[in-house]
Structure 1
Amino acid sequence: MIQIKKCTLDDYDIVENLFKRLINEIIIKTTGDPSLFSLSDTREAFNQGLEQGIYSVFMAITGGQTVGFISMCESFSLYTDGRFGIIQELYVLEDYRSMNVGGELLKFAVDYGQEKEWKRLEVCTPPIPEFERTLRFYKKNGFSITGGKKLKIMISE
């Protein structure tokens, strides 16, 4: 049985461990360039996001072990007719994949979004062959491709 628990500040070390595994997988599957991600201020960002209520994190626990997590934030846009959620991170330990842990986290995220009265839930995954399994996972769980590419510009370090 999979239990979903809302994270608190005390859960940082567990989430950080899973987050680092996620980032490592992304780096390995993409460019191999570890400088793409900054891991130096994650505790501060985690604490600030939770304290300000702009970042919500939930852990999947089975057999007394945390095996995955999902994080979300709220956004607002005219194209969505108001408030919507964005999945920022989703990770499941490799040994627990294809065991419905990710599906349970997504189901929980949809229920959470309904409680928050979000219009939709969005997620971004790299559009490269190395993430085809991830793309199939999201499609299997009801997500549809909307197109476009994610771009960024750094405005502070």
Structure 2
Amino acid sequence: MKIKRALVDDYQVITELFEELMKEICEKTNRKLSIPDHYYSLEICKNYLEKDTYIVFLAEEKNHFIGFISLCISHSLYAGGEFGIIQEFYVLPEYRSNGIGSKLLAKAIQYGKTMEWKRIEVATPPLPQFSKSFIFYKNNGFIDGEGRKLKCYV
């Protein structure tokens, strides 16, 4: 198994993995799938990779992509400068609990250190359905910010 930084040409596999992530979240939370159209998602992913505003690491095994983690850069006073946000993180179910997620996360943290980020933040999927995700992050050095992610559509 190897981890590599995604290239623009990887936009299709990233989009497919993203869609699998969203389907799983919706299935476990009994919510309707609400994501952009597949072709629009492909276009967005490709555009962000081309602009280098979307940093993605892919896990690959035997020429098959089995997971990914995506990051974006943000800035704030409370964080003391630039920091990273994990936007999406997914490992195919049949490959979980084999250390792949930890390796992807370690690669993201290593990248953050090279960028001199002050921190990396993440919002977990809904609890309690994804309590394993919450525990995973805590086991990998994240601390509970005791907040919840909110959104406002504009």
Q: Same fold (TM over 0.5)?
A: yes
Instruction: Give the AA of the match of 1:154.
Output: Y
Deviation at 1:20, TM superposition (A): 1.1
Instruction: Give the AA of the match of 1:76.
Output: H
Alignment of 1:1-157 (within 5 A): 2-34=1-33, 36-40=34-38, 41-155=40-154
SS of aligned partner of 2:129: helix
- What per-residue deviation string (whole Å, max 9, x for no partner) do you get for residues 50-80 of structure 1? 1222111110012222110010000000000
- Structure 2's unaligned 5+ residue stretches are none
Q: Identical aligned pairs, as a percentage?
A: 44
Using the alignment, how far apart are the partners of 1:49 and 1:11 within structure 2?
12
Deviation at 1:150, TM superposition (A): 1.1
Using the alignment, how far apart are the partners of 1:42 and 1:148 within structure 2?
29
Moved over 6 A (4+): none
Using the alignment, how far apart are the partners of 2:131 and 2:60 within structure 1?
26
Deviation at 1:39, TM superposition (A): 3.5
Using the alignment, how far apart are the partners of 1:152 and 1:71 within structure 2?
19
Using the alignment, how far apart are the partners of 2:19 and 2:141 within structure 1?
27
Instruction: Give the AA of the match of 2:125.
Output: P
TM-score with structure 1 setting the length: 0.92
TM-score with structure 2 setting the length: 0.94
Aligned 8 A contact 2:25 2:125 in 1: no
Deviation at 1:127, TM superposition (A): 4.3
1:127–1:15 distance in 2 versus 1, CA, 3 Å? closer
Deviation at 1:32, TM superposition (A): 2.4
Aligned 8 A contact 2:86 2:120 in 1: yes
Q: CA RMSD in A?
A: 1.2
Give the length in aligned residue pairs.
Answer: 153
- Structure 1's unaligned 5+ residue stretches are none
